[in-house]
Amino acid sequence: MLKIWEKKSNDDSETCKWISVHTKDCPKCFTPIEKNGGCNHMSCKTTTCLYQFCWLCMKKWGSCNYDCNK
């Protein structure tokens, strides 16, 4: 039972590492979001949120004046 628990624990820690490296939280609802290509204009897909923001500076889309792309 201990070996099964250790394996699961190690697998979960790798998942947590991947999530922390490859995702950011929506600035409005804090749902993890993965950027898988394209521009820095992001839209939260949570149906109760749908917040649009810049992936680099995390500000509301259009309010960053695109300075973060320099």
Active-site residue flag, 39: yes
CA distance 68 to 14: 30
Residues 6+ apart with CB under 8 A from 49: 26, 28, 29, 31
Q: What is the DSSP string of 56-70?
A: TT-PBTTSSTTGGG-
Selected catalytic residue, list 16, 29, 39, 49 = 39
The residues assigned a catalytic role are 39
